[in-house]
Structure 1
């Protein structure tokens, strides 16, 4: 059972979504350090989701439609901001000297991007509800629930850290630098797509 939960976490991370493209964007633009910081931010956001799911708050969130919609819209607006920033980014990349204040600030911003992108994603709550409904029973102890949750956090974090190193490699970055503007525009467009899809679902879901 523990292996199955770990594999589910890996598959959840590999599946293209806002988290995937935020890690890609930050790793390509600012290097592996910021990419890893973004991955750690995502992992910390998962801790929040795991905590309220294990403690039963996911049911409360599901029942409180107003709270759910507020989180949904906040997440969409944040993705809009990230996507617009990628589309309007300058064609020249920023460079930072290791250890400088500017680099530390960018690293913190990478962590913030990962954390907010995931914690404001209402689908994360539904994901953990679906996973736990498959692997947990009323008799499952709280300790085992936390173990399952930690497994998913570790699996997702490992995948995104690996992704950061892959897209920050010299060969990949050399290719990226030749087509940087188009990469940034593509990643920005994808983030805008996710944001607009959330808003579209929110608006028309409530009207229908």
Structure 2
């Protein structure tokens, strides 16, 4: 792979990371409500889900494009999961949170890795994004080593970026600010999730 191709690939990938989506909303909520460690676990789950799509794109994800039923099933399961997350955010109750209290309550909280992984793996747009990226900017003519190194780079960037976001959001001043605005955060997150589900549903129905 030429360095120009790699720069284009890395740039497109990073720009996609900057675009807030369900993974970001989940990371935001887990970090503010449960602390930095929860955010890191969520980030690892999201990165591992991305790694699976990267591996699938490396070794042939084309079957998903050729199997409308499998894609539709994955699509609707993903919509259902995002809608469930939105409902969880909507029902969440506000309670005073301190950074040290979030760490203390860590053991009683959900499995953040699993939730992060589920959010990433049940998003069919992730699958198509990596497939398109590797098809257009990498191509089959690239060596296995080159594609593998690119995949490792992408996984590392996703993990480090999400951990950086979690670390930044867990800053004491931001933590206190959002702790005092929990209802707004929960309802805003729910609206974002419901909007994403609505757009995904509309896109699928219009496309069929």
Question: Structure 2 length normalisation: TM-score?
Answer: 0.89
Aligned to 1:6: 10
Q: 1:174 aligns with which of 167, 173, 176?
A: 176
RMSD across aligned positions (CA): 1.8
Aligned to 1:129: 131
Q: Structure 2 vs 1, CA of residues 145 and 104 (structure 1 numbering), >3 Å: closer, same or farther?
A: farther
CA contact (8 A) 1:167 1:173 kept: yes
Q: Secondary structure at the match of 2:111?
A: helix
Q: Structure 2 vs 1, CA of residues 141 and 104 (structure 1 numbering), >3 Å: closer, same or farther?
A: farther
Distance in 1 (alpha carbons) for counterparts of 2:32 and 2:67: 38
Deviates more, 1:127-136 or 1:44-53: 127-136
Any unmatched runs of 5+ in structure 1? Answer: none
Aligned to 1:73: 76
Distance in 2 (alpha carbons) for counterparts of 1:139 and 1:41: 31
Q: Which structure 2 residues correspond to residues 118-197 of structure 1 after superposition, within 5 A?
A: 118-197=120-199
* Alignment: residue pair count: 201
Q: Structure 2 vs 1, CA of residues 93 and 6 (structure 1 numbering), >3 Å: closer, same or farther?
A: farther
CA contact (8 A) 1:79 1:117 kept: yes
Distance in 1 (alpha carbons) for counterparts of 2:132 and 2:139: 13
Distance in 2 (alpha carbons) for counterparts of 1:5 and 1:202: 27
Distance in 2 (alpha carbons) for counterparts of 1:93 and 1:62: 47
Q: 1:88 aligns with which of 87, 91, 95?
A: 91
CA contact (8 A) 2:46 2:119 kept: yes
Aligned-pair distance for 1:143? Answer: 1.6
- Deviation per CA, 1:75-132: give whole Å up to 9, x if none: 111111111111110111575564xxx62463x6211111111111111111112211
Aligned-pair distance for 1:54? Answer: 0.8
Aligned-pair distance for 1:200? Answer: 2.2
Any unmatched runs of 5+ in structure 2? Answer: none
Residues 1:17 and 2:38 are matched in the alignment: no
CA contact (8 A) 1:5 1:151 kept: no
Aligned to 1:116: 118
- Deviation per CA, 1:115-156: give whole Å up to 9, x if none: 111111111111112211232233211121111111111111
CA contact (8 A) 1:10 1:159 kept: no
